[in-house]
Amino acid sequence: MSERLLVLVRHGQSEWNLKNLFTGWKDPDLTELGVKEAREAGRKLKAQGLVFDVAFTSVLTRAQHTLDLILGELGQQGLPTSKNLALNERDYGDLSGLNKDDARKKWGEEQVHVWRRSYDVPPPGGESLKDTLARALPYYVQEILPGVLNGKRTLVAAHGNSLRALIMVLEKLSPEGILKRELATGVPIIYRLNADSTVASKLDLAG
């Protein structure tokens, strides 16, 4: 049976993660720690004996830089890679660039939590997770999943919320279930899929 391998990894810490700013479609690069996290992710995947046939990422620097660093650790620079806006972080609209603690003071903890983690409530001028899923899921189903089911060992380096959208589908999470799901920066999650595209196994390389 061919290995239906799909690895998801959120980018390493970005300059705006460090400054606690809503980022969305803004395009900061990785911090030094983010670079280290990305390299460590590559080392962990290499230690698992993994080799990839194809990679996917967003059009944002922090995800592309993370992917490059991971592939460097794997000795797989130049791996065929698709870069697409469909995998971009959720657009935080009017909140982009604002400090998250300042936002909590202005609008309250609960409202900010709803904007950050709920399924269908968008931040002002931005995308809800549902909106993000509406662009990420078709891309996953049409561009990523067919290769995985045909045995192409696949690596996806993207963002906290675009990956939460995919994980909601992969792990069949409800809107309540996805509410409390967080993705650490630079921590690969290794999925192996069944022939019917459901999850056979999941390994989170945290710690």
Residue 135 annotated as part of some ligand binding site:
no
Q: Is 104 annotated as a binding residue?
A: no
The region, left, alpha or beta by phi > 0 then psi within -120 to 50, assigned to residue 199 is beta
* 89 among known catalytic residues: yes
x/- binding map, residues 102-121, to ligand 2PG, per CB under 6 A?
--------------x-----
- Kindly give the pairing relationship between strand 189-193 and strand 199-204: antiparallel
Under rule CB under 6 A, residue 31 binds ligand 2PG: no
* Binding residue (CB under 6 A) for ligand 2PG from 88, 128, 161, 162: 161
| Residue 89 interacting with ligand 2PG (CB under 6 A) | yes
| Active-site residue identified among 37, 73, 89, 127 | 89
CA distances from 179 to 122, 167, 188, 198 (A): 14, 12, 20, 21
Alpha carbon distance 199, 178 (integer Å): 16
Q: Does 40 bind ligand 2PG (CB under 6 A)?
A: no
Known catalytic membership, residue 11: yes
Q: Which is nearer to ligand 2PG, 103 or 145 (CB)?
A: 103
Task: Say whether 37 counts as a known binding-site residue.
Answer: no
- What are phi and psi for residue 128, nearest 5 degrees? -80, 170
Based on the shown chain and the rule CB under 6 A, indicate whether residue 23 belongs to the binding site for ligand 2PG: yes
Question: What does DSSP assign to residue 97?
Answer: T
DSSP 108-168: -HHHHHHHHH-SS-PPTTS--HHHHHHHHHHHIIIIIHHHHHTT--EEEEE-HHHHHHHHH
Answer yes or no whether residue 186 interacts with ligand 2PG by CB under 6 A.
no
Instruction: Report if residue 24 touches ligand 2PG, rule: CB under 6 A.
Output: yes
Stretch binding ligand 2PG (CB under 6 A), from 16-24, 28-36, 77-85, 124-132: 16-24
Among the listed residues 11, 37, 65, 159, the single catalytic one is 11
Q: Is 98 strand, coil or helix?
A: coil
Eight-state DSSP code of residue 90: P
| 206: helix, strand or coil | coil
The reply to whether 76 sits near ligand 2PG by the rule CB under 6 A is no
Q: Which residues are catalytic?
A: 11, 89
Q: Which residue numbers belong to the known binding site?
A: 10-17, 23-24, 62, 89-92, 100, 116-117, 160-161
Q: Which chain residues interact with ligand 2PG by CB under 6 A?
A: 17, 22-24, 89, 92, 116, 160-161
